[in-house]
Amino acid sequence: MTLRKRALPQGWYPQDEEEIRRFLSPFSPQARKARAALAPHAGWAYSGAIAATAVSALDSQADTVVIIGGHLPAGLPPLFAEEDWVDSPLGTMEMDRELRSLLRKELQHKHFRRGTAADRYQDNTVEVLVPLVRYFFPQSWLLWLRLPAEMASFEAGSVLFHAGKALNRDMVVLGSSDLTHYGEHYDFSPMGTGKKALDWVREVNDRQFIESLLEGKAERILERALEDRSACCMGAVLATLGFAQAAGAGSGELLAYGTSADASGPGGEVPGSFVGYAALIWPPRQRV
């Protein structure tokens, strides 16, 4: 049996079990029972509370939680963690090997020209969310997947839903993406610096992307993200949306929004670089 060990350095999330439990204790599972959610993946000091808001809204009875990360440009293959277990400060999570095998078979060369590959790289987009999932889903299986920023990833969300259905899995999907990366660190400063720049990210660039995502038109979402640089992991975003739509979920809902600039506190100096974060969910469709 193989174990995927923690790879991120100190500072991304607490390494102490009790510290994690204290951080997450205010976020009791909600009654929304969402089928899919989108969460940020920065260090917990910046986006942990927003991510916890998303994860705690997922259906707590799920057999398997699929975390879909990104940072893969178009043309690269989907990356699957191939280990049997994943480590976290709260203990290990077992991989859903049966679902992984079926999904890889379905995606191999049918949707992605380069097939699929093993995820052997250090990456924050999935790992930083594992302790959250382990806390809220202590008995569930895990599937670790990263997808490229192309429309095939939207189709992969539907393939994932049908693979889970074939295996009789009660499954939820957690997509991982931050929003606008603004400032000198990211070579993206169309509105200069200071409060004007922060307001533009909050009220224009991130808001327009979120509104497009809630509308649910995949091609337009991808176009906006690439044109406006308003999301960093479009493969994860598209697959989460594709899964939600295939599952018959209702319209998306925005639960929380913030930026890393918020760490400066109200009235604090706007940093030269900052990132946007959002928690979105797709709950079950309301019956009339």
Question: Does the residue 16 lie in any domain?
Answer: no
Please state the rounded mean pLDDT for residues 127-155.
97
Q: Is residue 264 part of a domain?
A: yes
Res 29 pLDDT > 90: no
- The answer to whether residue 1 sits within a structural domain is no
Between these two residues, 243 and 266, which has the higher pLDDT value? Answer: 243
Residue 7 lies in a domain: no
**CATH code assigned at 208:** 3.40.830.10
pLDDT, tens digit (0-9, with 9 covering 90-100), for 84-112: 999 999 999 999 999 999 999 999 867 78
Give pLDDT, residue 83. 98
Residue whose entry in the numeric block shows the structure tokens 């909600």: 30
Mean pLDDT for the chain overall: 94
* pLDDT above 50 for 288: no
pLDDT digits (tens, 9 = 90+) for 42-60: 999 999 999 999 999 999 9
Number of folded domains that form the chain: 1
Q: What's the whole-model pTM score? A: 0.96
In a domain, 10, yes or no: no
List the Cα angle 113/118/123 in 5-degree steps. Answer: 110
Which residue matches tokens 């049997």?
A: 84
Out of 57-61, 124-128, 176-180, least confident range: 57-61
**What three-state secondary structure class fits 40?**
coil
Q: Report yes or no: 199 and 222 within 8 Å, Cβ to Cβ.
A: no
* Residue 220 counted as domain residue: yes
The range of the structural domain enclosing residue 271 comes to 29-282
Burial of 52: CB neighbours in 10 Å, binned 0-12, 13-18, 19+: buried
Comparing 27 with 29, the larger pLDDT belongs to: 27
